Structure 1
Amino acid sequence: MLKLRPQPNRTTLRATAALLSLLLVAGCGNSAADKDGRNGPKGPAKVGYIIIQPGTAPVEQQLPARISAYQMSEVRPQVSGVIRRRLFQEGSIVQQGQTLYQIDPSLYQAQVSQASANVQSARATADAARARASRYKPLAEMEAVSKQDYTDALSQARQAEASIAQNNAALRTAQINLRYTRVPAPITGRIGLSSVTEGALVTANQTDPLTTITRLDPVYVDIQESAADLLALRRSLSAGGTVPTTASVRLKLPDGSDYGFSGVVEFSQVVVNQDTGTVTLRARFANPQSILLPGMFVTAQFAQAVNTTAFLVPQQAVTRDPKGNATLWIVGTGNRAVQRVVVADRTMGQYWVVTQGLAAGEKVITQGTANLRDGAPIKPVPASSAQKVGPAPKSPSGSR
């Protein structure tokens, strides 16, 4: 007995027709994509390059530094006595020669009076001795007195003259000690705390100072540079390609902000510190607002020399490999990409300073480096060209 196959309904037929239409459209699309080259091999990548030439780049350094006072003076008494008055305000600015303390002058005034009287007495004695010697001279010539008596009289006159000089010296010493009862400021600057009060007994050349005066404008900045860095700099100067320069120094304050004034290195120490292995460079800075204080730690930024053979390469052209080496791409022979390892250990603005690995006139690729492979063909155009630099354009589609 024959069984009849069931006939498909209208819904099934419609679904089958829709599926066939989608497959046909997809097949035609793949064929067109293959023909216009979208899934086919691409042409050489278009890249932008610059031609590099050697330029000048300062050899900049950032080194630790410490502020030192331009002048600092510890005030000590030069005579002994009791402090009668303090004539300054702590923390104020004092001028050189200004009286800071008044020591009781009574004893020293008496010494001046005594020394003055001794001078007058010595002068009177000298006058009498000179008169006696004058009277003995003609008598000795007439042999009315012995020559020995004349010689003794002449000697006494000369001793009296010497006594006058001795007493004059003692008078000057007493006058100086009297002047020292007024303790002056040896320098101009800001005065600190007073270690004594009125009524305190002080002694000449005592160990503890009465107070300290510090000059804060200008100030010194002592920069610590390692001996190894200094040797490397001197070698580069002797080898050529690097020239010395006047080191203009900038400072970063402890809070990270820039100090508004720049300074100049004045001298370099000729002795290496045995404990730290560093050499001290001293710079001088203006400090009108007293922002820099002695003992403050800062960071000094300065250039000791200028490299005249360095290459300035835009930062976007330089990358780092897994080992940390600086690499870039150049246009090689036959318009092929060549990856090059260079030495670029610092930046200057928007450029890397390349000191090794490049030659003058080479073409460094700065645009379109994302998907480059070493040795791959490229289509280089100047980076300043108005053309759009990017992946190679797709080949034109063929006609059906």
Structure 2
Amino acid sequence: MVLFCRRLYGFYALAFSALMLTGCGQETNPKEMPPVKVGVVTLKAEVYENTMELPGRTSAYRTAEVRPQVGGIILERLFEEGSLVEANQSLYQIDSATYEAALKSAKATLALAESKEKRYKDLVENQAVSKLEYEQANAALLEAQAKYDMAKIDLEYTKVRAPISGRIGRSRVSEGALVSVNQAAELATIKQLDPIYVDVTQPVRQLLKSRRAHEQGRLQKVSDGSAKVQLTLEEGTEYPLTGALKFNEVNVDEGTASVTLRAIFPNPDENLLPGLFVHARLVGGVDNDAILAPQQGITRNFRGDPVAYVVNADNQVEQRDLDAVQTVGNRWLINSGLQAGDQLITEGLQHIKPGMQVEVQAAANVTLTKTSLE
């Protein structure tokens, strides 16, 4: 019995050893995972017109307050409220009776002074009067002439004239009103509306970026050397005429960290009135080699900085850190990090990591918007 058990144990041991050897001798051939498929867009350099849309308000090209230069009663208003007036046109007539009388008195005094000066001039040559007396007579003549000139000017000022050409507003006084030289309220206001100014505000950060781009040669000036401006009115309609940027304010608003830019627009039909809220689109320059990347291919790292993934020549994924300036439609304007010819991954981003081997196919999730010069 003992012998039988030993033989049975030996049989099972040999069988187990053979089974183990057979199992170890077999080679496993597991299936290799295929490369991940990703959709890419091949980037190319484009001509891009750099534009900025900024809020602004219209203001009159010139504004003049009509004020009296002599006091008196208003006898007549000589214009229609809201009409166009020409420079030097009479607007009000002030009662001139006292000024006419003053002019006559000054004229009489002047005549006496002229006669005395002429008589003393002859006498001083004959030494009948002293030189001092003649000089006093001459001074009296000059004083009389000055008073006559002032009386003449005061009489002329009884006609209140328009200082500039433009459209005049409502009159603040009527016939019979008493006006004075130093009164606080103006009689009326004239505004020149053609051309017209548009004052817009631009963040300082944006202004500095534009200047740096011009200095580095990434942006060229538009053909006429100045920045063109287009307007969108408050209700959404486009103003048909194009304006030009005139100057940048030299001071920065400390509360908003912005500067004021002033553009000038032709306004022949006076469709633009002072105080209108508008959106101004400024064309600051042209980038002839701009890189515009689809937004689907731009992500953020854990620090919040923009990054992109591209496929290199070995079909491997590379991560690029970007300097993304601004959005243009559904794309990002890229300062650095991407260049023409790069294959930007826009599909399958959730399945990739840097260094991974991928299979490239054309992206189906990107529809590119046109740039302003296309």
- 1:378 pairs with 355, 359, 364, which one? 359
Q: Does 1:103 align with 2:94?
A: yes
Give the stretch that moved more between structures: 170-179 or 355-364: 355-364
- 2:77 pairs with 56, 78, 86, which one? 86
Asked whether the equivalents of residues 317 and 364 of structure 1 are also in contact (C-alpha less than 8 Å), the reply is: no
- Aligned residue number for residue 58 of structure 2: 67
Q: Within 1, Cα distance between the matches of 2:179 and 2:117?
A: 40
- Aligned residue number for residue 113 of structure 2: 122
Q: Does 1:202 align with 2:140?
A: no
Letter in 1 for 2:101: A
Question: SS where residue 207 of structure 2 aligns?
Answer: helix
Change (3 A) 1:272 1:107: same
Question: SS where residue 241 of structure 1 aligns?
Answer: coil
Unaligned runs of 5+ in 1: 1-40, 137-149, 384-388, 391-400
User: How far did residue 164 of structure 1 move?
Assistant: 1.9
- Aligned residue number for residue 285 of structure 1: 265
Q: Does 1:265 align with 2:245?
A: yes
Asked whether the equivalents of residues 69 and 219 of structure 1 are also in contact (C-alpha less than 8 Å), the reply is: yes
Q: Within 1, Cα distance between the matches of 2:337 and 2:122?
A: 101
Change (3 A) 1:165 1:52: same
- 1:302 pairs with 282, 295, 308, which one? 282
Asked whether the equivalents of residues 232 and 239 of structure 2 are also in contact (C-alpha less than 8 Å), the reply is: yes
Q: Within 1, Cα distance between the matches of 2:308 and 2:301?
A: 14
Q: Does 1:353 align with 2:330?
A: no
Identical counterparts, % of pairs: 36
Q: Which of structures 1 and 2 has the bigger CA Rg?
A: 1
TM superposition score normalised by structure 1: 0.71
User: How far did residue 371 of structure 1 move?
Assistant: 8.7
Question: SS where residue 232 of structure 1 aligns?
Answer: helix
Counterparts of residues 307-318 of structure 1 (less than 5 Å)? 307=287, 309-313=289-293, 315=294, 318=297
Change (3 A) 1:134 1:328: closer
Question: SS where residue 73 of structure 2 aligns?
Answer: strand
Q: Within 1, Cα distance between the matches of 2:117 and 2:100?
A: 26
User: How far did residue 316 of structure 1 move?
Assistant: 7.9
Residues matched between the structures, number:
327
User: How far did residue 353 of structure 1 move?
Assistant: 2.4
- Aligned residue number for residue 164 of structure 1: 141
Q: Within 1, Cα distance between the matches of 2:250 and 2:137?
A: 57
Give the stretch that moved more between structures: 349-358 or 264-273: 349-358
Asked whether the equivalents of residues 317 and 328 of structure 1 are also in contact (C-alpha less than 8 Å), the reply is: no
Question: SS where residue 355 of structure 1 aligns?
Answer: strand
Q: Within 2, Cα distance between the matches of 1:196 and 1:51?
A: 68
- Aligned residue number for residue 236 of structure 2: 256
Q: Provide Cα deviations, 1:310-361, integer angstroms capped at 9, x if missing partner.
A: 3134x48646579887666644233356575645454446754222321343
Asked whether the equivalents of residues 130 and 154 of structure 1 are also in contact (C-alpha less than 8 Å), the reply is: no
Asked whether the equivalents of residues 335 and 380 of structure 1 are also in contact (C-alpha less than 8 Å), the reply is: no
Question: SS where residue 263 of structure 2 aligns?
Answer: strand
Change (3 A) 1:97 1:159: same
Question: SS where residue 240 of structure 2 aligns?
Answer: coil
TM superposition score normalised by structure 2: 0.75
Q: Within 2, Cα distance between the matches of 1:297 and 1:370?
A: 45
Asked whether the equivalents of residues 251 and 299 of structure 1 are also in contact (C-alpha less than 8 Å), the reply is: yes
Unaligned runs of 5+ in 2: 1-32, 366-374
Give the stretch that moved more between structures: 79-88 or 333-342: 333-342
Q: Within 2, Cα distance between the matches of 1:113 and 1:297?
A: 55
- Aligned residue number for residue 187 of structure 1: 164
Change (3 A) 1:173 1:47: same
Q: Within 1, Cα distance between the matches of 2:196 and 2:155?
A: 35
